[in-house]
């Protein structure tokens, strides 16, 4: 019988790549979706026929018990979250509920469905992956960051993720659950939300090239990140759940670039110079910034045999090319609509 995977956040960037990857491995994949107008199909339209869906929300304990009971998964990937860091200052309580308490609720759902007794260490059959984040390192205690680097989160997002990280470890230690956290550094793709800085820049480079946008407003150009390709990172999530012993892993490339370098490469890819098109907007600078992040992925290399396959330069070029195609298509549709209205 094929293995069954449940993915929360299946409509997001990582959820779409992970669903694709697990379907390719022969898994039965269930996506948890929420709300009335869901699933948001833009990222998973090609997979709709192969996926199964269940309704649930990380804010709602009862729905999670019902979802886990219905699906009876072998593996649960908890990717659902409010993932945009600036939003976490605007909606700190909601972010804490979804990104922090939501993890506890999913662990409880698994514990209840597996019948794990709180007084005894048992284990259970369901393996659990938690989407932890390099944002937990925040104001970094050392560089590069590895699995034992101290956390100093700088946003309500980072604080909530830190809770999710520790409660996953606690359920592993308390109940013998197979629960792991992947501490993933920034990963991007053509499916990245347009609010994140790489995609904001690649979309703008494409639109400016085609005369559809005038300027690009950015915040801190000096921020340093370790950016990789999302397609590579979902392979690591799956590998983490196939080990004999559950443990946490840092996933990143070990290479860093600045936001300014993203802009330079993206604008060069369309034959423009970023300085001619970018304006600094101090309003986009965060109340408390994470200045620099750099992964030490050596445990993942050694124990999972995982390594990234896409370079930073290739990643940004891939995103620009995809945005050029999308922008050209939108332009053609707009032109056709104009002609049709004459
Ligand atoms: P994303 O594209 O923003 O997707 C977030 C997903 O969470 C969406 O499918 C969204 O569903 C779902 N969601 C939001 N609120 C929910 C709720 N109350 N209950 C259930 N689902 C909910 O994020 P991503 O980039 O794929 O990231 C996936 C996970 O990895 C997130 O937990 C993120 O925090 C974490 N992470 C990401 C990175 C990165 O660089 N991408 C790095 C480290 C960690 P709707 O369609 O219904 O809104
Ligand atoms: O910002 C700077 C900004 O929003 C990166 C999420 O997936 O990765 C992501 O979080 C950097 C920051 O990602 C703009 O100040 C400058 O220093 O693309 P971002 P993030 O905040 O690092 C982590 C690992 C996650 O877990 C999160 O879920 O870029 N920056 N100017 C800007 N950022 C944005 N968004 N927009 C700007 O105009």
Q: Rounded to whole angstroms, how far apart are CA atoms 174 and 155?
A: 28
pLDDT for residue 122 = 63
Cβ of 81 below 6 Å from ligand 1: yes
Question: To test ligand 2's pocket by mutation, which of 13, 196, 316 has the most ligand atoms within 8 angstroms of CB?
Answer: 196
Average pLDDT over residues 91-119: 93
Share of the chain residues as helix, strand and coil, in percent rounded to the nearest 5: 45, 15, 40
Is the C-beta atom of 100 inside 6 A of ligand 1? no
The reported pLDDT for the residue numbered 339 is: 79
* Region of 57 on the Ramachandran plot (φ > 0 left; ψ -120 to 50 alpha; else beta): beta
Domains of the chain, residue spans: 4-189+230-251, 197-223+255-293+310-336
From residue 325, give the alpha-carbon distance in Å to each of 201, 321, 330.
Answer: 15, 6, 9
What pLDDT, in 10s, does the model give residues 116-168? 776 655 667 899 999 999 999 999 999 999 999 999 999 999 999 999 999 99
- pLDDT at residue 124 in the model: 75
**Mean of pLDDT values over 95-111:** 98
220: pLDDT strictly greater than 80: yes
Higher pLDDT, 120 or 67: 67
Q: Which helix (H) or strand (E) holds 53?
A: strand 52-55
pLDDT tens-digit series, residues 189-210: 999 999 999 999 999 999 999 9
- Quote the pLDDT of residue 120: 56
Q: Atom 34 of ligand 2 has which residue's CA nearest to it? A: 197
Residue with structure tokens 């009971």? 69
Ligand 1 centre distance from Cα of residue 210 (Å): 31
Query: Ligand 2 in contact with 289 (CB < 6 A)?
Result: yes
User: Which DSSP symbol is given to 31?
Assistant: E
CATH of domain 197-223+255-293+310-336: 3.90.25.10
> What is the dotted CATH code of the domain comprising 4-189+230-251?
3.40.50.720
Ligand 2 center to residue 72 CA distance, Å?
36
| pLDDT per residue as tens digits for the range 280-338 | 999 999 999 999 999 999 999 999 999 999 999 999 999 999 999 999 998 888 888 87
At residue 171, does pLDDT exceed 70?
yes
Predicted confidence at residue 97, as pLDDT, reads 98
pLDDT at 132: 98
Ligand nearest to the CA of 189: 1
């Amino acid at each position: 019988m094929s293995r069954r995977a449940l993915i929360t956040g299946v409509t997001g960037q990582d959820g779409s790549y992970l669903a694709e990857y697990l379907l390719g491995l022969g898994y039965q994949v269930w996506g948890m979706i929420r709300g009335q107008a869901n699933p948001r199909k833009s990222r998973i339209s090609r997979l709709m026929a192969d996926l199964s869906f269940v309704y649930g929300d990380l804010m709602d304990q009862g729905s999670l018990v019902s979802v886990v009971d219905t699906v009876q998964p072998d593996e649960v990937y908890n990717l659902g979250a409010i993932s945009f860091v600036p939003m976490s200052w605007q909606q700190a309580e909601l972010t804490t509920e979804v990104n922090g308490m939501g993890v506890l609720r999913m662990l409880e759902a698994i514990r209840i469905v597996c019948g794990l007794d709180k007084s005894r260490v048992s284990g259970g059959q369901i393996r659990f992956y938690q989407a932890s984040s390099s944002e937990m390192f925040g104001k970094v205690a050392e560089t590069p960051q590895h699995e034992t680097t101290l956390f100093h989160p700088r946003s309500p997002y980072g604080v909530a993720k830190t809770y999710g990280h520790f409660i996953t470890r606690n359920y592993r230690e308390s109940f013998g659950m197979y629960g792991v956290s992947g501490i993933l550094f920034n990963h991007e793709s053509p499916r990245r939300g347009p609010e994140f800085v790489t995609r904001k820049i690649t979309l703008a480079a494409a639109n400016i090239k085609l005369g559809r946008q005038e300027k690009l407003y950015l915040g801190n150009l000096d921020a340093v990140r370790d950016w990789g390709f999302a397609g590579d990172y979902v392979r690591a999530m799956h590998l983490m759940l196939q080990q004999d012993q559950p443990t946490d892993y840092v996933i990143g490339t070990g290479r860093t670039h600045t936001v300014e370098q993203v802009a330079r490469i993206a604008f060069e890819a369309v034959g423009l110079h970023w300085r001619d098109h970018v304006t600094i907007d101090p309003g986009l600078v965060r109340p408390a910034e994470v200045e620099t992040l750099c992964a030490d992925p050596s445990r993942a290399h050694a124990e999972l045999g995982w390594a990234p396959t896409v370079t930073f330069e290739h990643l940004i070029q891939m995103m620009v090319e995809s945005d050029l195609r999308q922008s050209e298509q939108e332009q053609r549709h707009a032109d056709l609509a104009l002609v049709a209205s004459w």
